[in-house]
């Protein structure tokens, strides 16, 4: 199994040897390799059993390094970078020849972000290459928010897990790009639409649900437990599954339930940040519990509730 530790130099050595290392970020743990080396990048796809048509996000430590492997950045995207990096924002930018086609699934734009985690930022600053790093989980499964999650599901396939504790944000980054002068959100995530629009004005939301995504994390079935998941109005769903062993995900709701039901409340105080940070952890705990079905409430479509609902819909999509 993979070694778990806090040794940045050990993680850096493995990465320089083109090995895989799990890294902590404020969103989820990433499975990292040298983004400029196709052989190293191929190991990510192999370890995750990830289809090569699903592109990867590249992580770096500075806007200056971003400019070494991209050709341009739209002024409004640059404004977002200055405001929200480091943070849960990924920008889709035109790439240059340094980024292998495997990273972008042959597309001409690469997803880039600067993660907001002190260990990973220090690690990135010690490397002379950026890191390709999708979530450190088997493809399509629940994203990991702790080192232990990574060790349980990929520990026999990677060299080192850099332990940075639990992830603060808990869901993946928001992906933003530009087409014909229009700023577009391609994936909902840890940065709310309202915060982006407060900075640069109205944006277009273009969420893809096909098997040919423009950006990472857009496949219809994704972030899914092995147990079947149903999301919607709890009061409507509950009568349909009373003969099943149930796990229920709530959002600060008061509801009378049988004692046999396992309940996970994303946030008793209905705090969206707390709910996001708990989502994948609770999905994982219910997936490992002795239940048949997971039922999840839909959150109000505001703030991070929009991104949480997006993850729940993808988790409940048929494979």
The residue written with tokens 């496949």 in the block is 219
What are the structure tokens assigned to 160, written together?
């080192």
Spatial separation of the C-alpha atoms in residues 87 and 84, rounded to whole Å: 6
pTM of the model: 0.87
Going by C-alpha positions, the residue among 90, 309, 311 that lies closest to residue 191 is 90
Spatial separation of the C-alpha atoms in residues 227 and 238, rounded to whole Å: 16
What is 3-205's CATH topology? DHBP synthase (3.90.870)
Q: What is the DSSP string of 15-66?
A: HHTT--EEE--SSS-EEEEETT-HHHHHHHHHHHT--TTS--EEE-S-HHHH
Spatial separation of the C-alpha atoms in residues 146 and 292, rounded to whole Å: 25
Please enumerate in sequence order all residues whose Cβ is within 8 A of that of 151, keeping only pairs 6 or more positions apart, or say none: 1, 2, 4, 161
CATH 3.40.50.1000 correct for 229-316 = no
Domain-wise residue ranges, the chain:
3-205, 229-316
Spatial separation of the C-alpha atoms in residues 119 and 48, rounded to whole Å: 23
Q: What is the pLDDT of residue 319?
A: 47
Going by C-alpha positions, the residue among 123, 131, 126 that lies closest to residue 58 is 131
Q: What is the pLDDT along the chain (319 residues), one digit of tens a residue?
A: 889 999 999 999 999 999 999 999 999 999 999 999 999 999 999 999 888 778 999 999 999 999 999 999 999 999 999 999 999 999 999 999 999 999 998 999 999 999 999 999 999 999 999 999 999 999 889 999 999 999 999 989 999 999 999 999 999 999 999 999 999 999 999 999 999 999 999 999 998 655 455 667 655 556 678 899 999 999 899 999 988 999 999 999 988 888 889 999 999 999 999 999 999 999 999 999 999 999 999 999 999 999 999 999 988 856 4
Helix residue spans in 185-250 (DSSP H):
193-200, 234-237
């Amino acid at each position: 199994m993979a070694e778990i530790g806090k040794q940045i130099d050990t993680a850096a050595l493995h990465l320089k040897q083109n090995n895989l290392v799990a890294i902590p970020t404020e969103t989820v743990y990433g499975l990292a390799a040298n983004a400029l080396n196709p052989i190293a990048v191929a190991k990510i796809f192999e370890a995750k059993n990830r289809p090569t048509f699903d592109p990867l996000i590249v992580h770096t430590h500075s806007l200056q390094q971003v400019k070494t492997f991209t050709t341009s950045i739209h002024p409004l995207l640059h404004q977002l970078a200055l405001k929200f990096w480091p943070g849960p924002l990924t920008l889709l930018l035109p790439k240059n020849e340094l980024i292998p086609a495997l990273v972008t699934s042959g597309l001409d734009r690469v997803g880039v972000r600067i993660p907001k985690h002190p260990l990973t930022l220090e690690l990135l600053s010690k490397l002379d290459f950026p890191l390709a790093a999708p979530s450190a989980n088997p493809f399509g499964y629940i994203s990991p928010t702790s080192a232990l999650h990574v060790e349980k599901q990929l520990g026999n396939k990677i060299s080192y897990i850099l332990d940075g504790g639990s992830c603060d944000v808990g869901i993946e980054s928001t992906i933003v790009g530009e087409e014909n002068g229009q700023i577009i959100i391609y994936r909902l995530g840890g940065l709310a639409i309202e915060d982006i629009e407060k900075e640069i004005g109205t944006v277009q939301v273009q969420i893809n649900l096909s098997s040919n995504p423009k950006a990472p994390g857009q496949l219809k079935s994704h972030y899914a437990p092995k147990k079947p998941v149903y999301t919607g109005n709890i009061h409507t769903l509950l009568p349909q599954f009373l003969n099943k062993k149930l796990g229920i995900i709530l959002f600060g709701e008061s509801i009378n339930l049988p004692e046999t039901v396992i309940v996970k409340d994303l946030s008793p105080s209905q705090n969206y940040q707390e709910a996001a940070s708990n989502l994948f952890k609770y999905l994982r705990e219910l997936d490992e519990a002795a239940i048949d079905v997971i039922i999840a409430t839909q959150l109000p479509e505001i703030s991070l509730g929009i991104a949480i609902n997006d993850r729940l819909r993808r988790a409940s999509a048929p494979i």
